[in-house]
Amino acid sequence: MICGLIAIVSCNKKEVNPNLDSNVMLEEPVNTVVDSAAAGKHEGLALIEGGDCLTCHKMDVRVVGPSYQEVADKYTEADIDMLAGKIIEGGKGNWGEIPMTPHAGMSQENAKKMVAYILTLKK
């Protein structure tokens, strides 16, 4: 009976999705950004909407992290490289003690597009 139970359990393995528990955001496919840009949407916004960003950030309301409006009001275009680095590497301390998850799978170019869009929200 024990052998039968072991056989049943071993044959019922669930398929594991290696991306399910990952905190690393993969780079968005180029065709998604091109399609969004063709539809008149800023490439940075298309990348934001295609990623996990809106889980912790909203346009004008603080959630886990600052709103995009707060970021735009605090930083300038001179900060694009630094902010793109924060998206890729993560960080902690600028907006509180909750760390921002790193997005190591994102290219510097796409991170800069996202920051450029966020800075357009400056009041």
Q: Which residues are annotated as a binding site for heme c?
A: 53, 57, 100
For residue 115, which of 16, 31, 44, 9 has the smallest C-alpha distance?
44
Amino acid symbol at 12: N
- Coil, strand, or helix at residue 25? coil
Angle between helices 30-38 and 43-50 (to 10 degrees): 130
